[in-house]
Structure 1
Amino acid sequence: MYEVIGHPTSRAFRVLWLLEELGQPYTNIPAKPHSPEALDCNPSGKVPALRVDGQVITDSTAIMTYLADKHGQMTFPAGTLERARQDAVTHQIIDEIDGVLWMATRHKFIHPENRRVPEVVDSLKWEYERNIGHMADRFEGPFVMGETMTIADIILTNCLNWAFGAKFPAAPEKLTAYAKVMRSRDAYQRASGKG
């Protein structure tokens, strides 16, 4: 059984949702960042972490890639052109959407007050709106990779939810509709405690 360390309101939700999609048993330790449980798994105190066979894997995308590869679901096989395209879009989401949201979050309440630059948030909102527009331009649906749901969908949906909660500009309609469909999935509902 997998053990997911991280509160479901963090990026740990991505891992919990994937495990539900995969139908794999797990336990969740809802640890907050920098808690003793988080520090036990990662010297930086970041979550999530995955404990499996006595080993710890950190970083939500690394964890998800491992799980998808191990179970042969929610990903294209390593070494294929489809996987290369999947990895490219996954990195685009992490770099251009997740990274912008995380930077804004740090300057709103994560950094010590004397290190925050709240004025940067307006620029980050502009950057997010531009970047989510680029994502919408390439999106054909029903999933990021067309007919196949992959870990990129979990990351993108999580980011769209995060942006909404952070009062960032609304995503283009096709991505807003996509996120609504993704949130209605049984696995999403179970991971969020609603199913």
Structure 2
Amino acid sequence: MRVLWTLEELDQPYEHVAAPPRSDDVIAFNPAGKVPVLLVDGTPITDSTAILAFLADRHGGLTYAAGTLDRARQDSLTQFLLDEFDAALWMAARHSFILPKELRQSAVKDSLKWEFERSQRTLAARMADGPFLMGEQMTVPDIILTHCGNWADVAGFPIIEQRLMEYLERMRARPALRKLSA
């Protein structure tokens, strides 16, 4: 979803080939079998965050210029979201349905929810004034955060920060995202 939404926001043409993780079609381009995979001139790019950064840089949108303080702040927010939001949600998913049943530890989810709530408070303090995380310009971290917010809802991880709830409401109303959800 992150990659498709980014392509929509950047108004770039693409062909979406739906393929399940670990399928032969995916393994042909990513030996780990993970999706998404973006093919550019026959070269696979893996990992959604790397794909988002590539697309933003290549098409000059959803990003600040490399070497600027704004880009450093953008990259910092990206890493924070991956470390604190995405990682907690992935760990919960692993212990819910990804790992073999005998390896799942359901009790870990309580500590992950606690960390997720604590991270929301930290993020709320880092959010700029404006409609987006960094203020007036939408950037890659906005895509990641909104995706994590949607994932949190499905996984039963409560959004407790009012400012974050309002932000997610605005982001979910974006035409490019709504187009993908239709």
Pick the TM interval, shorter chain.
over 0.9
Q: Which residue of 1 aligns with 2:167?
A: 178
Per-residue displacement from partner, 1:111-144 (whole Å, max 9, x unpaired)?
A: 1111111111111111111111211121133111
Give me the whole-angstrom Cα distance separating, in 1, the residues matched to 2:134 and 2:34: 29
Consecutive unaligned residues in structure 2, runs of 5 or more: none
Q: Structure 1 length normalisation: TM-score?
A: 0.90
Q: Which residue of 2 aligns with 1:144?
A: 133
Per-residue displacement from partner, 1:54-111 (whole Å, max 9, x unpaired)?
A: 1000000000000000011110011111101100010000011000100010010001
Identity %: 54
Bigger Cα displacement from structure 2, 17-26 vs 112-121: 112-121
Q: Which residue of 2 aligns with 1:9?
A: none
Q: CA RMSD in A?
A: 1.0
Secondary structure, aligned partner of 2:112: helix
Q: Which residue of 2 aligns with 1:106?
A: 94
Aligned pairs for 1:48-127 (under 5 A) are: 48-127=36-115
Q: Structure 2 length normalisation: TM-score?
A: 0.96
Please state how far the C-alpha of 1:33 moved relative to its aligned partner.
Answer: 1.3
Per-residue displacement from partner, 1:12-70 (whole Å, max 9, x unpaired)?
A: x0000000001100111111211122212211111111001010000000000000000
Please state how far the C-alpha of 1:171 moved relative to its aligned partner.
Answer: 3.3
Q: Which runs of 4+ in 1 moved over 4 A?
A: none
Q: Which residue of 1 aligns with 2:149?
A: 160
Aligned with 1:37 (options 16, 25, 31): 25
Secondary structure, aligned partner of 1:29: coil
Give me the whole-angstrom Cα distance separating, in 2, the residues matched to 1:31 and 1:127: 33
Aligned with 1:135 (options 123, 128, 132): 123
Total equivalences in the alignment: 181
